[in-house]
Amino acid sequence: MLQDETVMERDENGNPTKIHGYTCGESCVSYTPPDGWKVVSCVYAPVGSHGCCQFCVVIELVLAKEGGGDSTPQNVPITFIVHDESGVELADVGVYINGELIGETG
């Protein structure tokens, strides 16, 4: 489901109920969780990290098992973190998807 996935919580039968992981080429705005899961948090990870292509957008997600799977990222806060080539976090950077400003870093 996700890259670098880890199980954070399990139910009494040992089934995952909360997971943490990363996905490539998605945004917090466009990501749709699998059926039966909802997005609990979404943060932009450094571009190209976690096995993604060098210039790919990467998001860090926490998903919780719940009915329906119809929760969308618009229901959770989105944090933007942008780094330069040396890994230094940048402030006051506009974040765009398809030419539309969707947020700014602090």
**Range in 14-18, 43-47, 76-80 the model is least confident about:** 76-80
CB–CB of 105/91 below 8 Å?
A: yes
In angstroms, the first-to-last Cα distance of the chain is: 30
Domain boundaries, the chain: 3-104
CA distance 34 to 12: 22
60-94 tens-digit pLDDT: 999 998 853 344 444 455 566 677 777 777 777 67
